[in-house]
Chain A
Amino acid sequence: KAGVTQTPRYLIKTRGQQVTLSCSPISGHRSVSWYQQTPGQGLQFLFEYFSETQRNKGNFPGRFSGRQFSNSRSEMNVSTLELGDSALYLCASSQQGASYEQYFGPGTRLTVT
């Protein structure tokens, strides 16, 4: 089985721009979660999607949004980029249910200049 894939792997953007990151979950996994990793804050939860619905959202401003498609693929969007948005953005997929483990993709390294 192929793992979680994320595109692009690296991205450089300028302040004020917007960016869209993509995540393809493991085949058969219907839940997709997004996390942000920074040196200062560690790994922080952004949001979770299941069956095209956002089920949970972390404490991030409205500039961060996401969606999930009918094939379970997910995208996240960050608008009006700030320098502090520079981070590793990780996507994780899991089967339905609280006891299922989450499997992470390699991440997208976003640098905002």
Chain B
Amino acid sequence: DQQVKQNSPSLSVQEGRISILNCDYTNSMFDYFLWYKKYPAEGPTFLISISSIKDKNEDGRFTVFLNKSAKHLSLHIVPSQPGDSAVYFCAPKEGSTLGRLYFGRGTQLTVWP
């Protein structure tokens, strides 16, 4: 069962523009949401997170928005840079299950000059 869906396998954006990566989920028990960035043959790198009690969290060029009623979150990257090109994973967790992350299939972001 896919509790986390990232429906866009790929996204191509020009340098300097905004990148918006989307994630939908079905599990109402998810209460903490993380975004990871991954390069091939490396482990995922933590980017930013948001708790279910918030609807927005910002960290530099990265902002995550959470819409609990729609079970939807998005990651905004502004401005996008070529170094941002990677696969981005949405990974929520349930508070009750502590460490377990539920990963989406990822979105390949390509930022071109």
Bitwise, B30-66 to A at CB < 8 A (1) or not (0) is: 0110101000011111100101000000000000000
Q: State which residues 83-113 of A face B: CB under 8 Å.
A: 88, 90, 92, 94, 97-99, 101-107, 109
Bound-state Cα–Cα, A99 to B34, Å: 10
B98 in contact with A56 (CB, 8 Å)? yes
B106 touches A102 (CB 8 A): no
Which residues of A from 28 to 59 have beta carbons under 8 Å from B?
A: 31, 33, 35, 42-45, 48, 50, 55-56, 58
Nearest chain A residue, comparing its CB with the CB of B42: A106
Cβ of B34: which chain A residues have Cβ within 8 Å of it? 101-102
Question: B99 near A105 (CB under 8 angstroms)?
Answer: no
Residues of B within 8 A of A (CB-CB), count:
28
* A104 and B103 contacting across the interface, CB-CB below 8 Å: no
Q: How many interface residues does A have (CB within 8 Å)?
A: 28
List chain A residues, Cβ under 8 A from B43: 4, 90, 92, 104-107
Residues in A whose Cβ lies below 8 Å from that of B102: 45
Across-interface contacts of A101 in B (CB, < 8 A)? 34, 46, 49
User: A43 with B98: in contact, given A104-B44, A109-B41 (CB under 8 Å)?
Assistant: no
Check if B101 sits within 8 Å of A98, measured CB to CB.
Answer: no
Residue from the set A43, A92, A105 with the largest chain B CB neighbour count within 10 Å = A43
Q: Which A-B residue pairs are the 9 nearest by beta carbons?
A: A104-B43, A43-B103, A48-B99, A98-B95, A33-B99, A104-B44, A42-B105, A101-B46, A106-B43
- 11 A-B pairs within 8 Å (CB atoms) are namely A31-B98, A43-B103, A45-B102, A88-B41, A92-B99, A98-B97, A101-B49, A102-B34, A104-B36, A104-B46, A106-B41
